[in-house]
Amino acid sequence: MRAVLQRVDRGSVSIDGTIHGQIGKGLVILVGFGHGDNAETVRKMCRKILQLRIFEDENGKMNRSVTDINGELLIISQFTLFADCRRGNRPDFIQAMPPQAAESIYDQFVRSMQGCGLYVQTGKFAAYMQLSLVNNGPVTIIIDLSE
């Protein structure tokens, strides 16, 4: 499981020209799933994201989590996080979990994050989406729990 976290002042996702989800201050989370990811992987990723101290405290130090600041979450599925570009110029996605299984794990991830008490918005699994955001910092963190 891989996630790209972007600390944002605001973010939104549109599908077919219509806003599907939007947030204020918090995290845009791009998440992809690989072979072997399961409920335990989801649990670990959720805990890591919610506890990661990447928001500034009163002294300007990155010392607060998204939970500490009561931030908002925008979760977007993105299988391309498992692109392998080592050979040739066309990425392969062999390491990405097949869509049907990935959708089930994605749904688990979203439900787990919704259970944390923060405001959560999502894109739509396997949809063509346009993402807009204002990255704060910029702060972008990659978390890779794949084996």
Catalytic residue annotation: 78-80
End-to-end CA, the chain: 9
Q: Are 29 and 133 in contact (CB under 8 A)?
A: no
Pair of tokens at residue 64: 């607060």
b or e along 75-112 (b: 16 or more beta carbons within 10 Å of the residue's beta carbon)?
bbbbbebbbeeeeeeeeeeebbbeeeebeebbebbbeb
Amino acid at 1: M
Look at the alpha carbons of 31, 121, 51, 8 in this order and tell me if their dihedral is positive or negative.
positive
Q: How far is CA 57 from the centre of its chain?
A: 23
